[in-house]
A and B are shown apart, each in its own frame.
Chain A
Amino acid sequence: NAGVTQTPKFQVLKTGQSMTLQCAQDMNHNSMYWYRQDPGMGLRLIYYSASEGTTDKGEVPNGYNVSRLNKREFSLRLESAAPSQTSVYFCASTGPGGAYGYTFGSGTRLTVV
């Protein structure tokens, strides 16, 4: 099915470990995003990539890095995980101007202990 695919779906890390969350879309969308969702809060933007080759910080970028590998793939890296990064992470993509809404992946539930 066409859409946004995220891997892994679940992950437990120890404090200080690193990992990369993968995201791929097959809708030929230009723009891709990484959000985190915490209980009692709205989704917050971590990083986004308006087009292939560009990335920009969102609202909560500290502790994260991203790579727009090609038009399809946008990865999120935690270099040294902290308990405050325990969250559900969503990748999303959208076409030009976002006119048709954002398509979200099913999420990665990350726990840092």
Chain B
Amino acid sequence: KNQVEQSPQSLIILEGKNCTLQCNYTVSPFSNLRWYKQDTGRGPVSLTIMTFSENTKSNGRYTATLDADTKQSSLHITASQLSDSASYICVVSRNYGGSQGNLIFGKGTKLSVKP
């Protein structure tokens, strides 16, 4: 079964601290993995996208890693800010024909950054 599992479900950290969010997937055939940030009441916004051959990608203070062998990804947030409070969603795309409509979404990790 194609699934994307994220951990932890929720996380509270202090401003300025680092944190790492995890994503494990059992999606086949694999095309790419994306991390999205979703602020409360808003739509998801893309942070990174990685294909099979990429094992790390950064976007400012956000760094995503991908281990395609173990089917694991992580999102590391450095020097957290209050504005990082959001849900972070891991999404895996299947390579299935035109790859249209073949995104598998995780349930997200809700991150709260406290002052």
Residue of B nearest to A42 (CB): B105
Contact A33 B101 (CB under 8 A): yes
Q: Say whether B86 faces chain A, with CB atoms less than 8 Å apart.
A: no
Binds A, one of B14-22, B44-52, B62-70, B73-81: B44-52
Contact B43 A106 (CB under 8 A): yes
Fill in one digit per residue for B85-115: 1 if any A CB lies within 8 Å of its CB, else 0.
0000100010000111101111110000000
Number of interface residues of B (CB under 8 A): 21
Residue of A nearest to B4 (CB): A42
Q: Say whether B41 faces chain A, with CB atoms less than 8 Å apart.
A: yes
Fill in one digit per residue for A88-113: 1 if any B CB lies within 8 Å of its CB, else 0.
00101000011111111111000000
- With A and B bound together, what is the CA distance between A90 and B41 in angstroms? 11
Residue of B nearest to A41 (CB): B107
Contact A107 B42 (CB under 8 A): yes
Q: Say whether A4 faces chain B, with CB atoms less than 8 Å apart.
A: yes
Residues in chain A near residue B101, CB distance under 8 A: 33, 45, 48, 50, 56, 58
CB distance from B106 to the nearest CB of A (A): 6
- With A and B bound together, what is the CA distance between A44 and B103 in angstroms? 9
Contact A97 B108 (CB under 8 A): no
Residue of A nearest to B9 (CB): A40
Contact A104 B43 (CB under 8 A): yes
The 7 closest A-B pairs by CB, nearest first: A104-B43, A42-B105, A101-B46, A48-B101, A50-B100, A43-B105, A42-B107
Given contacts A31-B100, A100-B46, A107-B42, list 7 more A-B pairs with CB under 8 A.
A43-B103, A56-B100, A98-B99, A99-B49, A101-B46, A104-B44, A104-B45
